[in-house]
Amino acid sequence: MSDHRTEFGESAILFFLKAPRRGYVKTRLAAGIGDDKALAAYQSLVERQASKLRNHFPTTVYFAPADAAPELSNWLGQEFDYAPQCEGDLGSRLKQAISTAFDQGAEFVVCIGGDCPGLNASHIEQTLDFLSSGTDIVLGPTEDGGYYLIGLSLDRPELFEDIPWSHPETLDATLEKAHTLQLKPLLLETLYDIDQAEDLERARNEGLLPS
């Protein structure tokens, strides 16, 4: 495993996932293409992302539901650590996981999900570089108004409070909260998540996912 302890300080990558269960993942996508195809797309997305992380970044998979540890570790392998997501909205789950990472000694924490086909290791490397150079918060915007990545160099749980999650204003509300907290944000390039059938087709046409 690459040692980001020496290159970027003690870093922690938190990979937020759901167990690959039919009817449980990619429900908006499934409304357009069916549960089976949505599950297959989800598995391809996560496997692509895991391949970018495996043996390269110190990664903890934060999973839901709470009984999914064997399922996830059998699927993705033993190279990752695994921890259950706490109850609550996305903000609560991010707060808990990030605070845990900082409490365990991380200097920099980066959170990602499995929905963004364009997210590469270079985005994480760039985020860690910015954080180690004094940036407080790094965000990777998505075209729908959310974000595919958040990186932090300090633990500020307030950043995740009173935010409209899964909403066109998620990113803007987070940036406004960062300004209120006097944090210095930096934005990566804008990418897209896969939520609809046209997003999946786009990723396939770009060669990011198999047809």
Domain positions in the chain are: 4-205
CATH architecture of 4-205: Alpha-Beta Complex (3.90)
Angle between helices 35-53 and 69-76 (to 10 degrees): 70
Whole-angstrom distance, CA of residue 141 vs CA of residue 92:
20
| Predicted local distance difference test score (pLDDT) of residue 7 | 52
3-class DSSP state of 97: helix
Which residues, in sequence order, are CB contacts of 138 under 8 Å at separation 6+? 110, 127, 130, 131, 149, 150, 151, 152, 185, 186, 187, 188
Tell me the per-residue pLDDT of 134-191, one tens digit each, with 9 for 90 and over. 999 999 999 999 999 999 999 999 999 999 999 999 999 999 999 999 999 999 999 9
| Predicted local distance difference test score (pLDDT) of residue 211 | 85
Whole-angstrom distance, CA of residue 7 vs CA of residue 129:
9
- How many other CB atoms are there within 10 angstroms of residue 80's CB atom? 20
| Residue 109 near residue 156, CB atoms below 8 Å | no
Structure token pair of residue 170 = 């998620």
| Residue 170 near residue 163, CB atoms below 8 Å | yes
| pLDDT, average across residues 190-195 | 97
Structure token pair of residue 40 = 């297959």
Choice between 144 and 8, residue whose per-residue pLDDT is larger? 144
Q: Report yes or no on whether pTM surpasses 0.85.
A: yes
